[in-house]
Amino acid sequence: MKVKILDTTLRDGEQTPGVSLTPEEKLRIAIKLDSIGVDIIEAGSAITSAGERDAIKKIASEGLSAEICSFARALKQDIDSAIECDVDSIHLVIPTSDIHIQYKMRKTKNEILEQAIESVEYALEHGLVVELSAEDATRSDFNFLKKIFTEGINAGAQRICACDTVGVLTPERAYDFYKKLSKLDVPLAAHCHNDFGLATANSLSAIRAGANEVHVTVNGIGERAGNAALEEVVVALHSLYNIKTNIKINELYETSKMVARLTGMYLQPNKAIVGENAFAHESGIHANGVIKKAETYEPITPEMVGHKRRFVLGKHIGRSLLKKHLERLKVKVNDKQLNEIFQRIKELGDKGKCVTDADLQAITEDVLGIPSKKIVEVQEVTVVSGNKVTPTASVKLKINGKEILESSTGVGPVDAAIKAMKKCLDYFADISLEEYHVDAITGGTDALIDVMVKLKYKDKIISARSTQPDIVMASVDAFVSGANRLLLEVYENENIRA
């Protein structure tokens, strides 16, 4: 069995309050969705605006492998707008619940039925594939719902979809509901919303009951509490039910990050499959198990979805994980020294601090009585930024005993500061910034900022982090920490020019 994926990130997902994508952004997302194997892309609702039609036209003309679909109400003008955009199909939606028919549509059931049939026939006459969708299907009178679908199929609709528009299904009810609809003997889709946090579970139950298509959005974005999440549904089908899709699972994390960036809808860290903490371990018991065998506390590998495993140093750390970190830093300690380092990390964790590699190295050097030798030290950092002011930074570093003062401009204060530091370091070594990543660890304007950098010197690459309330100083500290580690490692073997 293989399940088709209809992704509605560009339609239902864009209906998330605060999300508005440009035609170019929608095209970028559509290209990505196509490349990972989405079968049907609901590119938008063509009737919405000229800009929406422009976006749908761009996507439809891109020559993608996926079927390109437009949302349409059972109205001639909606269908004409979709035809104008040269889409392959329409997601033709008609309300079927009493509350929608009476209060939203202000029509009779017979009028709704006639409207549905006429719309199906009109769309088919114009060469469109029709997926007839019942809005609020799960609160509808089932006999009327079945009649709408039966008449629509008789009129030529190739697929049907039942929408749990307000997310009131439970997994048990979802199974029974979609099981009855699967007997209509045409491709059946499930469209589940997440108002009670059950969208993924209900989608999986629908597929078990006979649905062979599922509507999803990347990261589960959508109106109110959102939709069933693409990454959750696909990975659960693959790993728990042995049901296949055409999705390239190893690209899900990358796709998630792209959509989060373009929509501005960033994920909570503990989001299943793609959250930053989905494969992060701090607890000593868990981390120790994962080190020995990943499957002890990971049902899937991070590599499977294109993610990475992360071990966090904090108050829950165990000695085994700490020892692994020290081995990675090429530090040898005895049991007494290990215990002292362990206790210091616990104390920092109790104060709410995330312990970085730089912190660990400093603690370890202090415990071992090793002089904290630094080739690079920060003497002074000044940044200027504001409205109509080019971000500028002045940095004074002490490098190998010599003070170097440089300044630079950038696209922002962080960029300017890093460029100024790079100019200082260029007198001694050609260190390049390979990667920069920032996260707000806590909420509020006084949030702790966690900065991670990857630096390269010759063929050596290292990571360094810093956690501070000030993003500029966290970035400077991470860069200097990384530079020290790089240069100290080669200091004995190379004559770094002064």
Which helix H or strand E contains 133, and what residues bound it? strand 129-135
| Percentage with pLDDT > 90 across the chain | 61
**Predicted pLDDT at 123:** 98
Q: Does 224 have pLDDT greater than 60?
A: yes
331-357 mean pLDDT: 78
Q: Does 430 have pLDDT greater than 60?
A: yes
Asked whether residue 364 falls in the same domain as residue 394, the answer is: no
Phi-psi region of 369 (alpha: psi -120 to 50; beta: other; left: phi over 0): left
**Predicted pLDDT at 484:** 86
- CATH code: domain of residue 455: 3.30.160.270
Structural domain includes residue 272 = no
Asked whether residue 293 falls in the same domain as residue 436, the answer is: no
Asked whether residue 214 falls in the same domain as residue 237, the answer is: yes
Q: Strand, coil or helix: what is 304?
A: helix
Buried b (16+ CB within 10 A) or exposed e, 197-234: ebbbbbbbbbbbbbbbbbbbbbbbbbbeebbbbbbbbb
Residues 6+ apart with CB under 8 A from 318: 283, 284, 285, 287, 288
285 against 414, higher pLDDT: 414
Structural domain includes residue 451 = yes
Residue 5: strand pairing partners: 214
Nearest to 169 by CA among 136, 210, 144, 146: 136
pLDDT digits (tens, 9 = 90+) for 38-94: 999 999 999 999 999 999 999 999 999 999 999 999 999 999 999 999 999 999 999
Structural domain includes residue 352 = yes
Asked whether residue 98 falls in the same domain as residue 182, the answer is: yes
* Domain termination residue (choose one: 322, 352, 368): 368
- Max mean pLDDT among 179-183, 297-301, 395-399 falls in 179-183
pLDDT tier at 312, thresholds 50, 70, 90:
low
Structural domain includes residue 214 = yes
Domain count, the chain: 3
pLDDT tier at 324, thresholds 50, 70, 90:
confident
362-375 mean pLDDT: 70
Asked whether residue 439 falls in the same domain as residue 306, the answer is: no
Distances (CA, A) of 109 to 78, 95, 164, 255, 494: 21, 10, 19, 42, 84
pTM: 0.72
Structural domain includes residue 348 = yes
Structural domain includes residue 497 = no
Q: Which spans in 226-310 are helix H?
A: 230-240, 252-263, 284-292
Asked whether residue 165 falls in the same domain as residue 306, the answer is: no
- Average pLDDT over the chain, rounded to an integer: 88
Structural domain includes residue 295 = yes
Q: How many CA within 13 A on the CB side of residue 339?
A: 3
**In this structure, are residues 225 and 195 in contact, taking their beta carbons and an 8 Å threshold?**
yes
- Max mean pLDDT among 326-335, 429-438, 442-451, 452-461 falls in 429-438
**Predicted pLDDT at 444:** 61
Q: Does 496 have pLDDT greater than 50?
A: no
Q: Strand, coil or helix: what is 453?
A: strand
- CATH code: domain of residue 149: 3.20.20.70
User: In the chain, what's the furthest Cα-to-Cα distance?
Assistant: 88
205 against 447, higher pLDDT: 205
* Domain termination residue (choose one: 368, 391, 408): 368
483 against 141, higher pLDDT: 141
Residues 6+ apart with CB under 8 A from 150: 184
d(CA 313, CA 283): 9
Structural domain includes residue 316 = yes
Asked whether residue 423 falls in the same domain as residue 342, the answer is: no
Q: Which of 21-35, 276-290, 455-469, 478-492 has the lowest mean pLDDT?
A: 276-290
Asked whether residue 167 falls in the same domain as residue 189, the answer is: yes
* Domain termination residue (choose one: 368, 399, 433): 368
Asked whether residue 216 falls in the same domain as residue 349, the answer is: no
Tokens describing residue 213: 């298509």
Asked whether residue 309 falls in the same domain as residue 350, the answer is: yes
Asked whether residue 344 falls in the same domain as residue 467, the answer is: no
Residues 6+ apart with CB under 8 A from 263: 13, 14, 16, 19, 21, 221
Task: Give the domain extent around 255.
Answer: 4-263
Asked whether residue 190 falls in the same domain as residue 291, the answer is: no
Q: Which of 2-6, 101-105, 313-317 has the lowest mean pLDDT?
A: 313-317
